[in-house]
Amino acid sequence: MDFSFTGRFLSQHGPIGTPASAPASAPASPTNPTIDLDFQQAPFDDLMQFFAHQIDTPIGSTIEPTKVDVRATREPALDVLDRVLAEAHATRTEVEAIRIVDHGANDAASLGGDAMSLNVRALPLNRLLDLVEPKLAIPIARVGQPFRVITVSGQVIEDQAAPVTLELTDVPAGLVLQRALEQTGYGYELTTGFVITPN
C-alpha cells in the first residue's frame, strides 16, 4: 500500500501504538509501505505514532520530546523511520508488545504492572492506553486511527476510539487494561513491537 501525507501534526504527547488490525493468531511483523512525507520540525512523538500506524507495529518511546525534519518521496516506511531515528539520535529495538484485537485474551490483569489510580469518564480508549502503557512498561497497539487528522480543507477528524469510564484506586496497570477492554469489547494478544531509546 502506498501512502502520501502532507500536512501538519497537532500537538499530542504520550506513548504510541498501532491499530488493532491483525487477527489474534497472526504473528506480528512490520509491513513496509511506501510513503511520502514532507515536514519541518514535526513533533517526534507524533511521527512515531504515524510510523506505528503505517507499519502496523506497536512503538513505544523513552526519548524526551523533540522535533525533527523529514522528507521522503515513495520510500519504504522503515527506511524513513530509521532516518528519523538517526536525526533524533535514537535507536529502535524489537521488544514484546501488546496488540488490542477483537476476540483476544481477556486476562490482562495477569500482566501485572505498576499500581495506578484513575477516575475517568468517557475517555477514548487510546488515551487510556497512553496512561496504562508506561505502567506496564510495554508498547501497546492503539485501535483504529489513533491520532487527529487535518484534511486539506482544514477539517479536524478526532480519534474515534470507544470511550471508557473507570474509577479504580491503587490497582495494577494490567487490571486497568482488563477493565477498559471489557467495556469496549476488545481483547489483547502478545506480539512484538519496537521501543525507541536515546543513543
pLDDT in tens, 25-65: 344 456 788 998 888 898 898 889 889 988 989 999 999 98
pTM for the model stands at 0.75
Q: 103 lies in which domain range?
A: 2-198
Q: Residue 37 has what pLDDT?
A: 86
Q: Residue 5 has what pLDDT?
A: 44
The torsion of the CA quartet 33, 143, 119, 12, rounded to 10 degrees, works out to 30
Number of domains in the chain: 1
Q: How far is residue 49's CA from residue 36's CA, in Å, rounded to a whole number?
A: 16
177 with 111: CB under 8 angstroms?
A: yes
**Ordered mean pLDDT values, 10 residues apiece, the chain (199 residues):** 42 37 43 86 87 91 91 94 95 95 94 97 92 94 71 72 94 98 95 95
Q: Residue 118 has what pLDDT?
A: 96
Q: How far is CA 13 from CA 65, 167, 178, in A?
A: 8, 23, 23
Nearest alpha carbon to residue 188 among 131, 116, 110, 119: 110
113 with 136: CB under 8 angstroms?
A: yes
Cell numbers that stand for 167 in this block: 474509577
The alpha helices in 1-160, defined as continuous H runs, are 44-55, 77-87, 125-136
Q: Residue 146 has what pLDDT?
A: 61
Q: Residue 185 has what pLDDT?
A: 94
Q: How far is residue 162's CA from residue 150's CA, in Å, rounded to a whole number?
A: 20
Strand order in the sheet with 59-61: 59-61, 187-198, 90-101
